Structure 1
Amino acid sequence: MQQDTMGDVIGELRASPGRRVFGVGVLSILGLLLLRMGLSGGTGTWLDGLVLVLGIGALWAGWIMYRATERSLVLTEEELRDSTGTVLARLEDIRGVDRGTFAFKPSNGFLLRTETRQPRLWQPGLYWRTGRRIGVGGITRAAESKALADLIAIKLAERAAVDAD
């Protein structure tokens, strides 16, 4: 077990380097292509301006994804948080883990359901949080995401066993 300043680390989830390069690259290339189209002025109408705005938006989204995927998710005995210290959920607040095929979850990831509503939070490619749901995954490795989801499910089962006694 690793030790950090916030407690014992049980599990960690990082963005896959290859998927990270691919995701950021696709958004950046899309942004550059849209900028080129908008600057060429093919139609001479307001659509050129819209294409320019979309190109800038795609480049901005690529930059946000690049910055977000530098982080990792860390599971401790008390909470799930990212490497900057932002707490996604405390373990006592999590009521379920969903990895099902038809769950509304990120690619290669899982969905957590919590007891209390949380403020919205989004780190593209790594996680999102809205209301009582937290989606983890995106450009992470499927095996690592599954392992982290299993660790959380084990912690929930241990808590349920203690509560039942």
Structure 2
Amino acid sequence: MRETFILYPSPIRRWFSTAMMLCLGALLVYVALTTGTMVLFWKLVLAVFGFASLFSAMRVWNATATHLVLTQDALEEAEGRVLCRIDDIEKVERGAFALKPSNGFVVVLKSKTQLTWAPGLWWRFGRRVGVGGVTPAGETKAMADILASRLLSDTPIA
């Protein structure tokens, strides 16, 4: 039997982060359309940023519809996309000054990977994988602790 640890996004954080992006986008588009005295260039800039924010809200909502699964071999999404393999992990950082997502942690890998991003849930850049954002702080810390202890020994993940 394969032991796993599952990290689900917090529904409240998911709704809140998406709502804030939607509000920002709607506000920027509204200001761009209703301000009559503004130069056309700045109206276009506001509209572009507004639509980009609306698009980002859609990306956050879709990316946080899944959950992360930590198995004996890898950290992956529920659909099977692998974030990192356990044997490729060099260390786990979750200190106050680590460049990490909100309430999350960073996994430093031994080798570089390609840039990938699931807004609000995780990101992968170079040798780093960041996990967190809309995930609950306690469960994310537990996953980081399990990964860190797994690196120190070859005990199974439970």
After TM superposition, the score normalised by the length of structure 2 is: 0.93
- Could you tell me how far 1:44 is from its partner in structure 2? 4.0
5+ residue gaps in structure 1? none
2:68 corresponds in structure 1 to: 73
Identity percentage of aligned residues: 40
Where do 4+ consecutive residues of structure 1 move more than 2 Å? Answer: none
Of residues 77, 82, 86, the one that matches 1:82 is 77
The worse-fitting range, judged by mean Cα deviation, of 57-66 and 12-21 is 12-21
Paired residue secondary structure (1:146)? helix
- Could you tell me how far 1:46 is from its partner in structure 2? 1.0
Mapped partners of 1:67, 1:84: distance in 2: 13
Mapped partners of 2:40, 2:57: distance in 1: 27
Aligned pairs (5 A) from 1:104-143: 104-143=99-138
Which residue identity lines up with residue 138 of structure 2 in the other structure?
A
Which residue identity lines up with residue 57 of structure 1 in the other structure?
A
8 Å CA contact 1:9–1:74 kept in 2: the answer is no
- Higher strand content, 1 or 2: 1
1:18 corresponds in structure 2 to: 12
8 Å CA contact 1:30–1:55 kept in 2: the answer is yes
Q: Which has the higher contact order (CA 8 A, sep 6+)?
A: 2
Mapped partners of 1:64, 1:84: distance in 2: 17
- Could you tell me how far 1:41 is from its partner in structure 2? 3.7
After TM superposition, the score normalised by the length of structure 1 is: 0.89
Of residues 92, 98, 107, the one that matches 1:97 is 92
Mapped partners of 1:57, 1:142: distance in 2: 28
Paired residue secondary structure (1:115)? strand
Structure 1 vs Structure 2 CA RMSD:
1.3
- Could you tell me how far 1:67 is from its partner in structure 2? 0.2
5+ residue gaps in structure 2? none
